[in-house]
Amino acid sequence: MTEPSTPGGIIPESPELLIAGLDSLVDGETAAEKLIAMGPDAVPWLERFLMETPPRTIALPRCRAVHALGELGAGRTLVQYFLRYQRPPDAAVLFAEDAVRSAAAQELARWKSDEVYRTLLKAAEDRITGGLIHALDEFGRAESIPVFFSALDDDLCREDAMAALRRMAEPARAFAILSLRDAAGPSIYCASARRRRRATLQLLRDVGAPAQEWRELRQFLDEQDADSVIAVAAIGFAVAPQPGHAALIDALFRVARHLNWAQEDEVTRLLDDRVELARKRARDLADAAVSHGESPNWLVPRWRILRHLLGDIWTHREAPRN
């Protein structure tokens, strides 16, 4: 890493003015570019701005400073930024500083050293951000997997964490199985645990689940969450013995009353892939529903899927009641 030098020499523009210019909506990027063009002499000014200026609700000026420090090779400064980080008590400032930490992580990932990795891992364990996930992902180390899994209940970081875990399929698969064993049973009620469990099941669907784990996984067919059931059914169709596929189809129809359009498309695709069995189960379910006095209602996803499988036989049934 390049160590900061002290400012010196004759420069065409005052560094104080350029640092102040980082706040400008119009000229902020130009100020950052000119600071980079100054070379190492700009590092102490940028370091002072990053370290001594309190975090605020607008992240862009500090992100510009972070980018300039990365371009100037000031990795040591970025490490110190993380080591000195203190979580802001104000929620709006905290959210803005998350963007700065993300930018700093991605700049720091230029240096693939153990020190940098440990710094990023500790920062992510303290408070995860998308940028920290991307930076850790670049190292490709299995040690990051628990941190990535911890982000699966975070709406802002989930997709980044899922993408990183897919790139480490083998160790991620093993960790997912272990985490689901711990999450099994009706005692897990909190929303964050349900989100993490759903994402873990979807991850297993993406990376593939071992057939020998199906006995453990099939219990999640009883979930109320449609995404979880869809993921488990997809796993089951891939690894479960064929005689058990009827139960998978029944589970999909059980959650099909309240699906969004993406879930409905996914269920339809899964059933189309084994259409003969799906059509038989659909006929039985439709007949049972009608015999219990339920009229076909094409506003309900479950009925639309039944009609898709059974064809026009249901089109002329009793119209849905308002």
The type of residue at 141 is R
- Region 210-231 average pLDDT: 94
Residues 58 and 148 in one domain: no
Give me the residue label for tokens 């959650």. Answer: 255
Of 240, 255, 275, the last residue of a domain is 240
Residues 99 and 150 in one domain: no
- Percentage of residues in the chain with pLDDT exceeding 90? 80
Of 115, 139, 163, the last residue of a domain is 139
Give pLDDT tens digits for 239-258. Answer: 999 999 999 999 999 999 89
The pLDDT score that the predictor gives to residue 1 is 54
Q: pTM of this prediction? A: 0.85
Provide the residue range defining the domain that includes 157. Answer: 141-240
Give pLDDT tens digits for 40-77. Answer: 999 999 999 999 999 999 999 999 999 999 999 999 99
- The DSSP symbol for 79 reads H
CA atoms of 154 and 132, how far apart (whole Å): 14
The average confidence (pLDDT) of the chain is: 90
Residues 171 and 294 in one domain: no
Residues 53 and 22 in one domain: yes
The pLDDT score that the predictor gives to residue 3 is 42
Of 182, 213, 240, the last residue of a domain is 240
| HSE-up (13 A, CA, CB side) for residue 223 | 26
Residues 125 and 29 in one domain: yes
Determine contact, residues 5/44, Cβ cutoff 8 Å: yes
CA atoms of 135 and 123, how far apart (whole Å): 11
More confident: 293 or 117: 117
Q: C-alpha angle 195/225/231, rounded to 5°?
A: 85
Counting the structural domains of the chain, the total is: 3
Q: How many CB atoms lie within 10 A of CB 227?
A: 19
Residues 265 and 312 in one domain: yes
Residues 202 and 248 in one domain: no
End-to-end CA distance of the chain: 70
